[in-house]
Structure 1
Amino acid sequence: MLDGVKHIILVLSGKGGVGKSTISTQLAYAFRDSGYKVGLLDIDLCGPSIPYLLHLQGKDVHQCPQGWVPVYADKEKQLAVMSIGFLLKNDNDSIVWRGPKKTAMIKQFLTDVFWEDIDYLIIDTPPGTSDEHITVMENLRTLNCDGAILVTTPQALAVEDVTKELTFCRKTGIPVVGVIENMSGYVCPSCAECTNIFSSGGGKSLADLAKVPFLGCVPIDPRIGKCADSGESYPALAPESPVTAVLKSIVQRVTVTSDVQSTEKT
């Protein structure tokens, strides 16, 4: 149930492998570390990676009178998580479903999870503009969806695919919070020199062309991978890093926008 959810953020990409789930996870941590109660919903049915990234494999989802109880990633119950990965008997099981069954499962995720009162629900979506995305949009039409964060990498192919995602947002009426350019260079841990392995500037160019905010560049940092292996918060582990600065900037931008929207509605 989304009645107790104050704000909803979608994380989208037109292409797989751009680090969308990693961004979703660390963004959830950044909101939580800023004092908010957060929910993270993984609707990538065929590639549910959120349980692994949060080190929650093997956790069970329980039922209560209000619906499914999400899995909590911390003792304080400030970060609640739901994924089809928790419903599979084995981590290696695959989902081989046609569209209607996927649609039904996503509707169930959006209506039957007992999130209680949370400030921000971050929805990690599969790549592309398929049935899953349309189902989410149809179910969020009457709710307070703050908008979408688009994740790309610097390469021209990734930017082209994310451009299609931007068109999808505009056709379905989803506000675009902004664009993140992930894997934007590698910062040497010894000399701090940044090498643009995959070129650079694609995300900024896309944001400028589409006239949407550019949220920043996230360089490759091996510590992010270590956080995924251990289920740790990267912003807490590396508070002074460029990646943390981008995540905190996004939290600030989203919360300011949310406050403005709430003021306009009252």
Structure 2
Amino acid sequence: MLDSMNDAERAAARAALPPHVPDASPARAIYAVASGKGGVGKSSIAANLAVALAARGQRVGLIDADVWGYSVPQLFAVRRSPSVLDGKMLPVTAHGVQLMSLGFFVEDNEPVVWRGPMLHKALTQFVEDTCWDDLDVLLLDLPPGTGDVTLSVLELLPEASLVAVTTPQPAARVVASRVGAMAREVRMPVSGVIENMSELVCPQCSAHTALFGSGGGRQLADELGCDLLGQVPLDVQLRDAGDHGTPVVASHPDSHAARALTTIADRLRPVRRGLAGRSLGLTPVAR
């Protein structure tokens, strides 16, 4: 469902739109946040990185590409639908971040039962038919694993680089390594690894306990040949912020998790994809 605008609202929106540049990348830096399995906090990481980057004065967009398990509407407490202007969707904005999610178009808790072609079409619309406002950074919250959505992202956004999220557990690290292996296979660069749930921080005494072991993030970064961008602790305030729809970097910026996430946002750097295996759009001319 899409919202409609009156004539005055349409005129104001047109005046604010950036100039259209055919085939231009939607952002100067694009990060695909991925994990090998569900339940490692990938969506919370993506949402908080987006808000942290926006707080630094950057223009940030976030695409909820996890179309089966969309969570951006909950994480940002957004229930309104995007508007359409001149055939383009206008992203919903919250906490300074431009958002697009399939959850904006369906009723609460409505399941999405789609196969590959429909997923690709939805992602194409989110990338190409959304009027992103001159983004500095675009983040994509990918579904777990190495399926159709990840391959569609690479096709639609060849400049995207991977940010792999894991927990310290060996089981999670082994599964996440498959995402990295897929990235290597399709020549997708890896910007780094984020270890989530690195340790439990006691809200009373601030004691640190490694509930899920240690070392998984560092091992994965070594396997992928990239940086360990940071370690995010288990924090009651992080969980509470997600439940209430305000990312923790905005609601509790001094919490342990928020400080770790803000540091990671500052360390993010795009890694450009090499030319090997890419079509350069050049036609040889016979002499």
| Residue of structure 1 aligned with 2:100, choices 82, 88, 95 | 82
Superposed CA deviations along residues 17-58 of structure 1, whole A, max 9, x for unmatched, are: 1100000011111101111111110011111011101111x2
Partners of 2:81 and 2:157 in 1: CA distance: 27
1:107 aligns with 2:124: yes
Question: What CA RMSD, in Å, does the superposition of the two structures yield over aligned residues?
Answer: 1.8
Output the amino acid matched with 2:73. Answer: P
Partners of 1:22 and 1:32 in 2: CA distance: 15
Structure 1 or 2, whichever has the larger Rg, is: 2
Output the amino acid matched with 1:80. Answer: Q
Partners of 2:224 and 2:184 in 1: CA distance: 11
**What residue in structure 2 maps to residue 68 of structure 1?**
89
**The residue matched to 1:189 in structure 2 has which SS?**
coil
- TM-score under structure 2 normalisation? 0.82
Output the amino acid matched with 2:91. Answer: P
Identity %: 39
- 8 Å contact from structure 2 (residues 73, 103) kept in 1: yes
Pick which of 240-249 and 31-40 moved more. Answer: 240-249
Aligned length: 250
1:36 aligns with 2:58: yes
Output the amino acid matched with 1:187. Answer: V
Partners of 2:258 and 2:81 in 1: CA distance: 31
Displacement of 1:154 in angstroms is 1.4
**The residue matched to 1:197 in structure 2 has which SS?**
coil
Displacement of 1:80 in angstroms is 0.7
Partners of 1:3 and 1:164 in 2: CA distance: 27
Partners of 1:138 and 1:11 in 2: CA distance: 16
**What residue in structure 1 maps to residue 206 of structure 2?**
192
- TM-score under structure 1 normalisation? 0.88
**What residue in structure 1 maps to residue 72 of structure 2?**
50
- What does 1:85-100 align with in structure 2 at a 5 Å threshold? 85-88=103-106, 90-100=107-117
Partners of 2:24 and 2:53 in 1: CA distance: 18
**What residue in structure 2 maps to residue 212 of structure 1?**
226
Q: By percentage of residues, which structure has more helix?
A: 1
Q: What 5-or-longer segments of structure 1 have no aligned partner?
A: 262-266
- 8 Å contact from structure 1 (residues 36, 120) kept in 2: yes
**What residue in structure 2 maps to residue 264 of structure 1?**
none
Pick which of 91-100 and 227-236 moved more. Answer: 227-236
